[in-house]
Amino acid sequence: MFVTTIHQHLEHQARLRPGAPALSARDATLTYAELWRAVRQAGARFAGLGVARHDRVAVFLEKRFETVAALWGTSVAGGVFVPVNPLLKGKQVAHVLRDSGARVLVTSPGRLNAVRDHLGDTGLTTVLLVDPADGGLPHDLPHLPELPGLTVLRWAPAADDDVEPAGTPGPDTDIAAILYTSGSTGAPKGVVLSHRNLVVGATSVSGYLHNTAEDVLLAVLPLSFDAGLSQLTTAFAVGAHVVLHDYLLPRGVTAACERYGVTGITGVPPLWTQLAGVEWPSGARFALRYFANTGGRMPAALLGELRGLFPAAAPYLMYGLTEAFRSTYLDPAQVDARPGSIGRAIPNAEVLVLRPDGTPCGPDEPGELVHRGSLVALGYWNDPERTAARFRPVPGYDEPWRAVPEPAVWSGDTVVRDAEGFLYFVGREDEMIKTSGYRVSPTEVEEAALSTGLVREAVAIGVPDERLGQRIVLAVLAPEPVDSERLLKEMRQSLPTFMLPAEVHAAESFPRNPNGKLDRPAIRAGLVAEVAE
């Protein structure tokens, strides 16, 4: 079957293996036939609400059957799905809704109640409420503010005779999804992904991981995260079984792995640190065929622990960015020979190491990692300036027959390539903080601190941390002695836990440049030295 849209992978598997398990969550399992039916029903529901090609549907839910049905059902209706991280607070959710221009929001009564005061100018027209996860029914809809044109409805599957078959697929260059990732200058930015990006990415990643219909994959990362969404797309590409899991405690992961016989897990370093610190049932340890790491460098000591814990599992060390879905992986056979390497380009991708003028770097010469090929995203939603800066052609690399030069994504990451073509990460050019697998904007952390009224100025930086990748350190100037506990408590009202500073340092003054602006490099150097003492 020739696949041009992500829902066609699921449709194909429903025809090929209708009775095979596709998705498990909360002690229940859907077969591929049942999941495809739920997806078609969701697509019909959206079509009935007027969702059409390129209309955005936001999904603000924990991991559950309705979440997957809503995401893939949006594709069936021809729309664009926007998964919203369930850890986000009201102001951040409102930004995603407003910026994406989503017409429809799928959420639960509790989550709607938590964000309703922020929905006034988002442009939503319809909210669909699913039943609470505890099994209750949303009979008593939460009170909503006066929002002209907003309709609140229950999530109700279309009746069987109302279910329309999937429409004629559009071109694979159509927009499929917008994934929001933090930017270095403040509010999250939306990365626009095409169906081609997701379909090719699914076949590429499932290929080098050697996934098959016999695999059981644990989806433990957020579905709003490209690597989290990839657990679904790669599984559906080959007919594997996905177990949805909202992470609370590491023992919940071990229990899920033992119950379902999980064979593959993709995680981030902080998650792996926690999973390495608990006792695993023997069956779960030996059933694991591979474990994969993304979202930051895995410390050598942690890698050693995991290899001892899962003796039958192959370690896959991966590097990726939302703008290109996934860029490189290190073949497990090379892990011992090339410690610290992020590997080579994944299938169907080309990874270059370039100087600022676009010429290629020599072996062991630091340069910017530039990704070309069909996994390169379409750009940033509603942001042509940043799109033009990050997505641009590579001089001299386009074929002469191309009418329009093919854009590449310039990652902003510095790497080196050795004489045998293996890549090694050096650092980032921007000020983004990479913590717990998340990209965190220092500006967003600083604005949260300033909004409390307890400080006059604030600067957030990331410092190396073996467990988190980086931990967030906040330096502040305040009119009176800083009550760090009170400051963090108030910041917690507007920031998810992973964005909260691990440390707060009070300063008497901040160095400034000749223009009177904060001298961030000097502040960073001072903070790093202070933290190291």
At 148, is the pLDDT very low, low, confident or very high (cuts 50, 70, 90)? Answer: low
Adjacent-strand bridge partners of 114: none
Judged against a pLDDT cut of 50, whether residue 505 lies above it is answered with: yes
**Considering Cα of 55, then 68, then 7, then 383, what sign does the dihedral take?**
positive
Instruction: Check pLDDT > 90 for residue 22.
Output: yes
Question: Average pLDDT of 439-449?
Answer: 84
pLDDT band at 342 (very low <50, low <70, confident <90, very high): very high
Beta carbons of 380 and 181 less than 8 angstroms apart = no
d(CA 297, CA 318): 9
Domains plus CATH for the chain?
Answer: 13-194 (3.40.50.980), 341-428 (2.30.38.10), 433-532 (3.30.300.30)
Spell out a b/e string for 74-92, using b for 16 or more CB atoms within 10 Å of the CB, else e.
Answer: bbbbbbbbbbbbbebbbbb
Count CB-CB contacts under 10 A for residue 433: 26
Cα 271 versus chain centre, distance = 15
The pLDDT-based confidence of 161 (bands split at 50, 70, 90) is very low
Full-model pTM: 0.85
Please tell me the predicted confidence (pLDDT) of residue 139. 47
Above pLDDT 70, what percent of the chain?
A: 90
pLDDT bracket for residue 165 (50, 70, 90) = very low
Q: Is the pLDDT of residue 27 over 70?
A: yes
Q: Residue 428: name the closest of 359, 300, 357, 524 by CA.
A: 524
Query: Is the CA virtual torsion 324, 63, 249, 306 positive or negative?
Result: negative
Q: Distance (Å, rounded) from C-alpha 397 to C-alpha 417?
A: 18
Cα 175 from chain centre:
17
Exposed / middle / buried, residue 514 (Cβ in 10 Å: 0-12, 13-18, 19+): exposed
d(CA 474, CA 311): 41
Compute the distance between CA of residue 263 and CA of residue 56 in angstroms, rounded to an integer.
34
Find how far residue 145's CA is from the centre of its chain. Answer: 31
Per-residue pLDDT tens digits for 167-191: 556 677 899 999 998 755 567 899 9
- Residue 219 carries which side chain, given as an amino acid letter? A
Contact 74, 198 (CB under 8 A): no
As a whole number of angstroms, the distance between CA 392 and CA 8 comes to 30
| Residue given tokens 């109700």 in the structure block | 156
Apex CA 175: angle with CA 169 and CA 178, to 5°? 135
At 265 the three-state DSSP class reads: strand
**What does the pLDDT read at residue 134?**
54
pLDDT of residue 300: 84
Sign of CA dihedral 258, 260, 263, 268: negative
Q: What is the pLDDT of residues 446-489, one digit of tens each?
A: 888 988 989 888 889 999 888 888 999 999 988 888 899 999 99
Residue 436 confidence (pLDDT): 86
Residue-wise pLDDT tens digits, 105-141: 999 988 998 888 888 889 899 999 998 765 544 444 5
Asked if 130 and 63 touch (Cβ cutoff 8 Å), the reply is no
CA nearest to 218, candidates 290, 132, 302: 290
HSE toward the beta carbon, residue 493, CA cutoff 13 A: 10
**Mean pLDDT value across residues 305-330:** 94
DSSP secondary structure code for residue 303 in this structure: H
| 475 contacts: CB under 8 Å, gap ≥ 6 | 458, 459, 460, 461, 504, 505, 506, 507, 510, 523, 526, 527
Is the per-residue pLDDT at 260 higher than 70?
Answer: yes
pLDDT at 437: 82
Distance of alpha carbon 37 from alpha carbon 57, whole angstroms: 19
pLDDT > 90 in the chain, percent: 64
User: What is the identity of the amino acid at 3?
Assistant: V
Per-residue pLDDT band for 93 (boundaries 50, 70, 90) equals very high
Q: Are 449 and 455 in contact (CB under 8 A)?
A: yes
Interatomic CA distance for residues 319 and 323, integer angstroms: 12
Q: Tell me if residue 415 falls in helix, strand or coil.
A: strand
- pLDDT band at residue 274 using 50, 70 and 90 as cut-offs: confident
In single-letter form, the type of residue at position 339 comes to: P
Q: How many degrees, rounded to 5, is the angle at CA 527 between CA 521 and CA 533?
A: 140
Is residue 181 within 8 A of residue 439, CB to CB? The reply is yes
pLDDT of 223 > 90? The answer is yes
Give tens-digit pLDDT for 364-396.
999 999 999 999 999 999 999 999 999 999 987
Question: To which residue do tokens 């169906």 refer?
Answer: 195
Report the alpha-carbon angle 111-116-117, nearest 5. 135
- 318 touches 293 (CB < 8 A): yes
pLDDT tops 50 at residue 520: yes
Q: Collapsing DSSP states into helix, strand and coil, what is residue 173?
A: coil
